[in-house]
Amino acid sequence: MNYYVVYMEIIDKNANEQIRPNHIKYLNKLAKGGFIYARGPFQDETGGLIIYKANSLEQAKEFANADPYVINKARRIKIKEWIKFDENSLSNE
């Protein structure tokens, strides 16, 4: 599986608040399926970030576009493939 970072910027604060419970339920479902590596809001309350584990960019886009925030136009998204390094990947040895 590959990793895909989804930057989710709030564009409608009122809708964002109303949709939050459905967004959390949706992400919990994906997490139980093993499709989420990390998730959380930004400290400045402008949105949040999700790192999906997916088989392809297309699958990651499907996950992101099915999010209640996106469906209800409360947030806009940007998606990028992310390469995860660990300590051994960064070693010069």
What CATH number is attached to the domain comprising 9? Answer: 3.30.70.1060
Instruction: Give me the number of domains the chain comprises.
Output: 1
Count of residues for the chain?
93
User: 70, 16 in Cβ contact below 8 A?
Assistant: no
Looking at every residue in the chain, the average pLDDT score rounds to 94
Asked if residue 93 belongs to a domain, the reply is: no
Mean pLDDT of 22-49: 98
Asked if residue 58 belongs to a domain, the reply is: yes
Asked if residue 34 belongs to a domain, the reply is: yes
SS (H, E, C) the chain: CEEEEEEEEECCHHHHHHHHHHHHHHHHHHHHCCCEEEEEECCCCCEEEEEEEECCHHHHHHHHHCCHHHHCCCEEEEEEEECCCCHHHHCCC
Range of the domain at 43: 2-84
pLDDT of 81: 97
User: 27, 50 in Cβ contact below 8 A?
Assistant: yes
pLDDT surpassing 60 at residue 92:
no
pTM metric for this prediction:
0.89
Task: List, for residues 17-28, the tens digit of each pLDDT value.
Answer: 999 999 999 999
Asked if residue 92 belongs to a domain, the reply is: no
Q: How far apart are CA 25 and CA 10, in angstroms?
A: 18
pLDDT of 73: 97
